[in-house]
Structure 1
Amino acid sequence: MESNTPDPNQTQTQTQTQTQSSDHDHHAINMVTIDDTHLAAIHQKINTPPKILSKAAGRATCSIFKVPKSFNDVNGKLYQPQIISIGPFHHGLPHVQMMEEHKYCYLGNLLARTNLSLSELFSAVAPLVGAARECYSESIELDDQVFLEMLVVDGCFIIEMFRKAAKLVGFESDDPIASMSWIFPALLRDLHRLENQIPFSVLQCLYDLTCGKDSSGSFTLATLSLEFFNFTIQRPNDIIWKYKDLQPKHLLDLLRSSFIIPELDPENSSKEKAAPQHVIHSVSKLRQAGIHLRPGKSETFLGIKFKRGVIEMPKVTMDDFMSSLLANCVTYEQCHNGHSTYFTTYATFVDCLVNSAKDVEYLCDKNIIENYFGTEAEIATFINNLGKEVAFDIDHCYLAKLFNDVNAYHRSTWHVYLATLKYTYFSTPWSFISVVAASVLLVLTVLQTYYTVLPYYKPSD
């Protein structure tokens, strides 16, 4: 007789099957579906070109960038205009409205002096609007008329400012830009910031149109621009006039290019691959290995050399302007497609040299850094921040051979031994006196011991 008692294992299996089936039916019933409206919205996003970082940003024609957040987090104040907005990125912001009013005053002065009309200025720049938009890394939301007005007003202000600063055109007697001493240094800094640029082609167009109405015909736009920034950089005129025919992307690119000389020889330098284990040691460690630093002779602070255990670095003046210029040039090189990396290489090199305020103090004592920036600790912090978040290829940079040569010299045992001996025992007069005194005491002790022991081995007759 068969038992009707259910098999427990069979019952459990059936229960699991029913549960799985129930779960499957539950998911089937509650499956999420996307309606046609949502699908259409997704298709619209697919077909909408990026605006915050447009496709133009990846092209060589794009040269004016919004500074990446990672750089802003480190050196934010060095990228933001303080009193004047040039170009669309900071256009209309409240803190730049004071200078916005003066732009139109300068435009009026230019029109009165040259007898040009507004329509002539606008007609000359209008064909450049499309190409100018392509120079910016973000889509510009201004319509063409507002964008054109901004280019003309900003461009005319810059050219008039340069002419007034060069004394080709006189300042108005009550012009606060000339009479208030704090404004001019702020303009020097604001006009070279990466986010605060308009294309140089627009400036060139306006300069050519308004040239000949004064004595500015003796200048090119490049030399007139460099003369303006020379109020703080203070380079000889013969260096400035070497770049009279330069056609850069914008004013920041002009300044950057004027520090890059043929003697840096990027093609030959890039063939040399640097040592893979490290970039370079700090000043303190280099000195312990017998490597010293001294001021070099070059028309650019980028012209660093190494020979016979000495790194030669041309003097650089560290102040508010130079710190801003270095930061903006490094960021420009990081953003621009296919750009050379001279400033990035320099920033990385100096960042490696400086680990502490003592390293900066040594560079100041050697007249390599002229400090108008702050304390040695503040300079050290700035230099270390300058090298943060930077993409750097040591194998392809203009200092690759120098990195190799310094590292090879540092690895030389006898150099390190002699330098350590000198650094430890002869670095100061007091340590030298201590070594001499200890040596004399040792000699006297040996002699005393010798003459004390000698009678026991050679008794007198």
Structure 2
Amino acid sequence: MELEMEWMDKINEEVKNNGHDEKEQWRKHSIYKIPSQITDLNEKAYKPRAISFGPYHNGEEKLKAMEEHKHRVLVHFLKRCKKPIELLFQCLDQVAQELRDSYKPLDLIWTNDTPKFIQMMILDGCFILEFLRVDNSEIPFDDYGENDLVFGKHGNLHVLPFVERDMLILENQIPMIVLHILSEFAGEGDHHELNMKIIKLLNPIFIEDTPSNEKIIELGKCMHILDLYRKTLIQEPSHTTPIPKLTRAQQREEDISKKLGWNTFPRVQESGIHFHKSKTSSLRDFWFSEGVLWLPRLIIDDNTEYMFLNLMAFERLHNGAGNEITSFILFMDAIVDSVADVSILYGKGILVNTFGTDETVAELFNSMSKEIPKAYDKKIYNVTADIYYFCGTKPWKRWRASLIETYFRNPWTMVSLVVGIIFFVLTIVQTIYTILSFYHDC
């Protein structure tokens, strides 16, 4: 009876609060435990392989080897700062609840034991900062030595690439505020400089594409490293894109709107449209104009799959994140279906394949879109509508493209076609002469 009364009191209290606490909590979450309906398709893509950051994979047996290096890095960090650990602990203790609220869900062990939670944040955050500092240092190996197992030559080849990969796992994030506090504690620059270090490590192409640092500041407040990385990928290009000649009225025609759907979307080799590489690698730097589809350059390597899957998982789980990454992957899956499609985009410099065969790349795009909700954004919708209208009003271009793909991509196939045509013409000529000869004899 006592338990029943306790339960009813709890329900009454929640009704009285009218859900205000719940709404506030949802706004605070930014790091998520990915549900099984997502991870079941590819479990390895969502799990760290070398090091744990944050509570979700802390203490796992396969990751324990890096724990001693975290402690060693903390000692290096404090020696350089010349400040006591107690002061650092105090700084993070003031925001402990904010840090805990970032995780959804969070085990009771971290909720009830604040010192243990802060200790983890300090160790993980210091390791990330030291990694960024060594990567950006002009002095080789800095104070770690050439033979250091993590930051030396050996570690730079066999350890740090996996650490870099694990920094983009959604379940392996720590709140960005931890890195801000630690960076200020060490006197190593402001938030912008920290962002620049992260971008230089994880997405250096973004800096090459963005000559002005002012554009990088526009990335705004970021919740964690994965969020910052995502924003660099979807930054709107600074150059002006051409305005399609198709009117908006044409794009919104009812028959085109009814057709919108990836299942009937024209593939690369059969679309009849031309492909060109965009000026930047931003996933927002694409457009369609006068029969030409401009697409950003994509480097396909061993990290591509896990990176995109974690970004899409973040968009799916975080309310308000947007769906730019998800919609772009669905768009690419719609136009890439075969080895021939990959080969065409590779030839145009749109796909840079360091991953494997063209068939593997085609399978990669197809697999990443499995069981993903159909997410559209305005820009994708407009480009899709333009392509449908172009292909619908100029079917001869699709026929020509199909003819070229079938008969003229391979020189031997082209020779066979020409020989076949010659024989066909000669057969017709012979038939005509036979008929004329017959009537002449009559």
**TM tier, shorter chain?**
0.7 to 0.9
Q: CA deviation at 1:40?
A: 5.0
1:247 is matched with 221
Q: CA deviation at 1:182?
A: 1.4
1:87 and 2:57 aligned: no
Q: Deviations over 1:371-401 (max 9, x none)?
A: 222333433333222112322333x343111
1:236 is matched with 208
- Which SS does the other structure have where 1:352 is aligned? helix
1:68 is matched with 35
1:222 and 2:231 aligned: no
Q: Tell whether the 8 Å contact from 1:56 to 1:135 is kept in structure 2 after alignment.
A: no
Q: Tell whether the 8 Å contact from 1:300 to 1:314 is kept in structure 2 after alignment.
A: yes
1:417 is matched with 399
Query: 1:128-167 to 2 correspondence within 5 Å?
Result: 128-141=95-108, 142=110, 143-167=113-137
Could you tell me which runs of 5 or more consecutive residues in structure 2 were left unpaired when the two chains were aligned: 15-20
Q: CA deviation at 1:348?
A: 0.8
One-letter amino acid of the counterpart of residue 187, structure 1: V
Query: 1:266-415 to 2 correspondence within 5 Å?
Result: 275-280=257-262, 285-394=267-376, 396-412=377-393, 413-415=395-397
Q: Deviations over 1:6-64 (max 9, x none)?
A: xxxxxxxxxxxxxxxxxxxxxxxxxxxxxx36745864885899xxxx95797233110
Q: CA deviation at 1:127?
A: 1.6
- Which SS does the other structure have where 1:208 is aligned? helix
Q: Tell whether the 8 Å contact from 2:184 to 2:190 is kept in structure 1 after alignment.
A: no
- Which SS does the other structure have where 2:106 is aligned? coil
Q: Which of 165, 186, 209 is equivalent to 2:162?
A: 186
TM value normalised by structure 2: 0.81
- Which SS does the other structure have where 1:92 is aligned? coil
- Which SS does the other structure have where 2:184 is aligned? helix
> 1:45, 1:392 → 2: CA distance?
39
Q: CA deviation at 1:121?
A: 0.7
Q: Tell whether the 8 Å contact from 1:304 to 1:311 is kept in structure 2 after alignment.
A: yes
> 1:376, 1:57 → 2: CA distance?
47
- Which SS does the other structure have where 1:248 is aligned? coil
Q: CA deviation at 1:303?
A: 1.9
- Which SS does the other structure have where 2:104 is aligned? coil
Q: Which of 170, 179, 182 is equivalent to 1:203?
A: 179
Q: Which protein is bigger by CA-based radius of gyration?
A: 1
Could you tell me which runs of 5 or more consecutive residues in structure 1 were left unpaired when the two chains were aligned: 1-35
Q: Deviations over 1:290-336 (max 9, x none)?
A: 13434332242442222233322222111223322211111111111
One-letter amino acid of the counterpart of residue 251, structure 1: I
One-letter amino acid of the counterpart of residue 249, structure 1: M
One-letter amino acid of the counterpart of residue 162, structure 1: L
> 1:380, 1:449 → 2: CA distance?
48
Residues 108-117 or 396-405, more deviating:
396-405
CA root-mean-square deviation: 3.5
> 2:424, 2:366 → 1: CA distance?
46
Identity %: 28
1:106 and 2:106 aligned: no
Q: CA deviation at 1:445?
A: 4.8
Q: CA deviation at 1:65?
A: 0.6
Q: Deviations over 1:51-98 (max 9, x none)?
A: xxx957972331101112122111211111112111111122222211
- Which SS does the other structure have where 1:370 is aligned? strand
One-letter amino acid of the counterpart of residue 176, structure 2: F
> 2:190, 2:229 → 1: CA distance?
21
Q: Tell whether the 8 Å contact from 2:327 to 2:380 is kept in structure 1 after alignment.
A: yes
2:18 is matched with none
Provide the aligned length of Structure 1 versus Structure 2: 412
1:78–1:235 Cα change, 3 Å: farther
1:258 is matched with 232
Q: CA deviation at 1:153?
A: 1.7
> 1:261, 1:150 → 2: CA distance?
32
Q: CA deviation at 1:176?
A: 0.3
- Which SS does the other structure have where 2:275 is aligned? strand
Residues 399-408 or 438-447, more deviating:
438-447
2:17 is matched with none
Q: Tell whether the 8 Å contact from 1:164 to 1:171 is kept in structure 2 after alignment.
A: no
